[in-house]
Amino acid sequence: TLPVILDVDTGVDDALALLFAVKHPAIDVRAVTCVAGNASLAQVVDNTLRILDAAGAGSIPVAAGAVRPLLAPGRVASHVHGADGLGGLTLPQTTREPEPVSAVELMRRTLMDSDEPVTLVALAPQTNLALLLRTHPDVVDRIERIVFMGGSASVGNATAVAEFNVWHDPEAAAIVLGSGIPTFMYGLDVFNQVTVAQDTAAALASSGSNLGQVVGALLGNRVALSEDSSLVYTGLIGDAGAICALVDPEALSIERRPVRVELAGYGRGQTVVDRRRYSGEDAIHGGVGDWAVLDVALDVDAARFARLFLETLGLGA
Ligand code: BDR
Ligand code: CA
């Protein structure tokens, strides 16, 4: 099995990712760390504990991390995830507390205690990861790979060009992408494609299975993304797609490409993905700037990921 640490800002689709990850037999979730993003840190921690309880995974250690980005102000996404971060889903109170150590310390311990390198999966702004790399640079050898949901080679969502997780803490993303650790980007190009049909979500929500009801309710979350602000069903499995990528990368078109994080101006938070197959004026005239070379997912067999997601949760469509 693949040992992983999940860094989350739960979050409707982080919740779907957590449920999928703990149920997939090839994935071994060693720790879950929380960061402010979709909701406040306290809300993210509470949501994460409740979701793990609902999945029968209440023994996985959870720790709280950064309360806000490195430089940017804290800004939640309640227009997408609701005031509680879970789209109004009511789950039983948790009876447990997060670990008495920070997210950075839980990540460090988990990495150092593992007898094999661990994959770091970031489904949220990368504040915790940046702090880990700056605090304990010696852990780099213990990281197999970083897999992150974030960025885009095309359209943005937080701004016309920037994806939310990178936009929320661009400096953190620049630190992480610049670390030299092998990194895989699961950006909006693929994130926006993987959906579950509305009638399937509705059937799950009213099914006899507890897990089905939770997944159906999460998928049924409606967001104000249309031009007139009316609420729309998206059916996106979202961050859960980045977990699908861990176990079924063959469903993706992946290219190794130079990527940079813009830090200034309107483009702040944009990931520029260089898809040219020749050297342009920038390289010819020097001053190409800071580019990381990443594996970037550019296309996906969306139906295959949606099937994998539902079947792993025992909810085959
Ligand atoms: C990302 O931002 C959040 O809204 C989601 O949880 C996902 O991680 C998409 O841009
Ligand atoms: Ca997220």
DSSP 130-159: HHHHHH-GGGGGGEEEEEEE---SS--SSS
Report the SS3 class of residue 55.
coil
Which stretch of DSSP H or E encloses residue 305?
Answer: helix 302-312
- Position 133 pLDDT exceeds 90: yes
The 10 Å CB-count burial string (b at 16+, else e) for 11-36 is bbbbbbbbbbbbbbeebbbbbbbbbb
Compute, in angstroms, the gap from residue 37 CA to the centroid of ligand 1: 9
Task: Quote the mean pLDDT of the chain.
Answer: 95
**Ligand 1: does its nearest atom lie under 6 Å from the Cβ of 238?**
yes
Give residue for tokens 């990281």.
143
Indicate the top mutation candidate among 6, 9, 10, 148 to test ligand 1's pocket, ranked by most ligand atoms within 8 A of CB: 9
Residue range 257-280: mean pLDDT, rounded: 95
* Closest listed residue to residue 6, CA positions, set 101, 148, 134, 130: 148
Output 274 or 289, whichever has higher pLDDT.
Answer: 274
Number of C-alpha atoms within 13 angstroms, CB side, residue 54? Answer: 25
Q: Strands (DSSP E) along 172-249, which ranges?
A: 183-186, 222-223, 232-233
Output 76 or 93, whichever has higher pLDDT.
Answer: 93
> pLDDT per residue over 164-186, tens digit each?
999 999 999 999 999 999 999 99
Residue range 220-227: mean pLDDT, rounded: 83
Q: Distance between CA 129 and CA 188 in Å, rounded? A: 20
Query: Of all atoms in ligand 1, which is nearest to the CA of residue 37?
Result: 3
Mention every residue, 6+ apart, whose C-beta is less than 8 A from residue 160.
none
Residue range 126-142: mean pLDDT, rounded: 98
Compute, in angstroms, the gap from residue 72 CA to the centroid of ligand 2: 17
Q: Which pair of tokens denotes residue 41?
A: 């840190």
- Position 280 pLDDT exceeds 90: no
- Position 287 pLDDT exceeds 70: no
Burial (CB count <10 Å: 0-12, 13-18, 19+), residue 289: exposed
> pLDDT per residue over 23-82, tens digit each?
999 999 999 999 999 999 999 999 999 999 999 999 999 999 999 999 998 888 888 888
Residue range 275-297: mean pLDDT, rounded: 85
Q: Which pair of tokens denotes residue 13?
A: 């689709």
pLDDT score, position 317: 59
Residue range 79-89: mean pLDDT, rounded: 86
* Closest listed residue to residue 176, CA positions, set 149, 206, 210, 153: 149
Report the SS3 class of residue 116.
coil
* Closest listed residue to residue 261, CA positions, set 297, 286, 290: 290
Query: Of all atoms in ligand 1, which is nearest to the CA of residue 124?
Result: 8
Query: Of all atoms in ligand 1, which is nearest to the CA of residue 164?
Result: 10
**Ligand 1: does its nearest atom lie under 6 Å from the Cβ of 148?**
no
> pLDDT per residue over 288-304, tens digit each?
678 999 999 999 999 99
Compute, in angstroms, the gap from residue 78 CA to the centroid of ligand 1: 12
pLDDT score, position 78: 86
Compute, in angstroms, the gap from residue 223 CA to the centroid of ligand 2: 15
* Closest listed residue to residue 140, CA positions, set 184, 102, 178, 185: 178
Mention every residue, 6+ apart, whose C-beta is less than 8 A from residue 299.
189, 190, 193, 252, 253
